[in-house]
Each structure stands twice: as C-alpha cells, then as structure tokens.
Amino acid sequence: MSDFLTGIAFFLIIEGLVYALAPLVLVEMAKRLPHIPEQQLRLFGLVSVAIGVALVWMVRG
C-alpha cells in the first residue's frame, strides 16, 4: 500500500508541476485533444501503460 500511495504522490507532483510551470501549453493541448482520433488516444494510453509497467519492473526487479 505504501508503494501505491508513493506512486499517487509522484503523479500529483508531476501534474502539479505541469500546471505550475506550463499552464498555457496544457490549455493548448486540451484544445487539440478533441481533434485527435480515438484510436490514436487509445494507442498512446496503452503504450504509456506498457512503458510504466516496464519501468516499475526494471526498478523493482
């Protein structure tokens, strides 16, 4: 449970940094999001999950 909460904390830190350091970039990305095909968003999400799992596996292994 400790590792899970640490992961959530790191997620919040990174998200907070994006909002604090580059809010205009985030707004522009949000404007473009509806124009990206759903399949491309799904693929990017799956690739992100795979990279995240691989990184955790490498760090913990």
User: pLDDT digits over 4-52, tens only?
Assistant: 899 999 999 999 999 999 999 999 999 999 999 999 999 999 999 999 9
Note the pTM of the prediction, 2 decimals: 0.71
3-class DSSP state for residue 37?
coil
Domain that holds residue 47: 2-60
Number of domains in the chain: 1
Are 47 and 40 contacting, i.e. CB atoms less than 8 angstroms apart? no
CB 18 within 8 A of CB 10: no
Model confidence at 2, pLDDT cuts 50, 70, 90, reads confident
